[in-house]
Amino acid sequence: MAAFQKLHDAADPAIVEKWEEQDRQAQIQRLADPSAMDVFDVQLQKAPTRKQQELALLARVGRGGGNAQRGAATWIASGITIEELQISLSMDIRRLGKHPTETQHLEIGRRRTKLQSRIDEFTIAAVNHLGEDFDLDDDIRDMEVEFIDDSEQEVDAVTDSEHDSHEDPRCMVFRPENVMIPLPSNIGIHRCTELGVGHLVGQEIALREGQANDTLQAIRVLLADKAVLFRTTVRPAKSQAKVTRAWTQVHSVERVIRLQTMIYSKCRAQLSNLQAHALLEKYLRMEKSHLKASAAVADPNARGQRNSTLPWFWSLDVQGDSISNDWMNEFYRVHWLRAKALRDRWSEEQLLIEYEMCWTLQFFLHKAGMWLSRITRNGDPLPEGHKCYAIRQAHMYHQLAKHARTSFLKANPMFKVIV
């Protein structure tokens, strides 16, 4: 509740009034129209995602447009997914350091096995799209990944020799995370032309554009989350335990930011291989300074924020020429609505739990009275054994009621039975 109140107090009252009306209308209409709850999600028009680009390519093939092979878009999309898995695995291996445990070695081994299976399936399917001669080129290279340094947030290109010094010698031969899979961006435009599959280049460019939009969207959300974490979790933390937990959350977000940044950098490198110069002018190089999230960003009324300069990807829209803070305003709106919903839920739970405490106490007293009433049957006394059992049960429920009352008063000194 305190976190919501801080966000509420920091926001513009006029904007908050608009948000409150949106929340009220959503609550009124949600039973009859579940889509009314869409206000709790980002409403800005988003650039096309990779899945949307793939669907568009599939629809184009279905209409018989062009000379695109059926299934080529899905095949390329699966290759891009494999590439992302390779980057994720490479990042995790690097994070383990020089002396990973046996359990960590085993986990990496299992992930490598699964990754190799997907690479094998992709390579087998490549024959259908590239032809049987696609692998005649002997110039086979390892995949290059730009790592983001864990401590200094710097882009650090790590060579294979540096990785080798950290690797278990038994695992050196089997490293599917470094395999260069046969995507058009890896084969090259010239080679694709020789194989007669130049049309695949355009399809991969479209999918890479969607991938870039996906990663930038993820980076924006994560940086905004990081900013709010600083304001609502790190700064208010007073005890060492709370500070540790708060920074653990921040570091967890930072790891995902690094992963998404590495994927974006690889995507941009592949667009360069595909000679998509127009897109490279739109999707600029990611610098380490772009990944810093100021804690002041959680305060829309901060002095001078209207004229502050945000990194280029904050203002990137479908057309690529919008420069505004609309996205951040949308983020605060959604965050405020969700925080308010959580606060309202807690208020409901607090009201309910007070009644549940009373119901629990009344239930124990009712059971105690019920067992005492069973000492006699129709005015006739029960056998001594039955009477003793009934008295013992009544005593047990009286003790439970006493313990419940003591516990409830400890939790809430103002507790009283609600009749």
Spatial separation of the C-alpha atoms in residues 87 and 150, rounded to whole Å: 15
Residue 322, pLDDT score = 35
Residues 6+ apart with CB under 8 A from 155: 146, 147, 148, 149, 265, 286, 288
Q: How many Cβ atoms are within 10 Å of 332's Cβ, its own excluded?
A: 22
Q: What mean pLDDT do residues 325-354 have?
A: 80
Most confident of 273-277, 330-334, 373-377: 273-277
pLDDT (tens digit per residue) in 107-132: 999 999 999 999 999 999 998 888 88
pLDDT (tens digit per residue) in 205-260: 999 999 999 999 888 888 878 877 777 777 777 888 888 888 888 888 899 999 99
Rg (the chain; Cα; Å): 31
Q: How far are the Cα atoms of 42, 109, 219, 241 from residue 174, in angstroms, in the given order?
A: 43, 9, 32, 42
Banded model confidence at residue 4, pLDDT cuts 50, 70, 90: confident
Measure the N-to-C terminal CA separation of the chain; round to a whole number of Å. Answer: 29
Query: Would you call 347 helix, strand, or coil by DSSP?
Result: helix
pLDDT (tens digit per residue) in 265-315: 999 999 999 999 999 998 999 988 888 765 444 444 455 544 445 677 765
Q: What mean pLDDT do residues 10-21 have?
A: 84
Banded model confidence at residue 168, pLDDT cuts 50, 70, 90: low
Residue 280, pLDDT score = 93
Most confident of 150-159, 174-183, 309-318: 174-183
Which structure tokens are listed for 318?
């479908």
Residue 220, pLDDT score = 83
50 close to 211: Cβ distance less than 8 angstroms: yes
Banded model confidence at residue 35, pLDDT cuts 50, 70, 90: confident
Mean pLDDT of the chain: 80
- Is pLDDT above 80 for 385? yes
Spatial separation of the C-alpha atoms in residues 260 and 258, rounded to whole Å: 6
Residue 172, pLDDT score = 59
Q: Which of the two residues, 282 and 319, has the higher pLDDT score?
A: 282
Residue 314, pLDDT score = 66
Banded model confidence at residue 43, pLDDT cuts 50, 70, 90: low
Spatial separation of the C-alpha atoms in residues 380 and 127, rounded to whole Å: 93
Sign of the four-CA dihedral 161, 165, 166, 172:
positive
Give 157's strand partners.
146
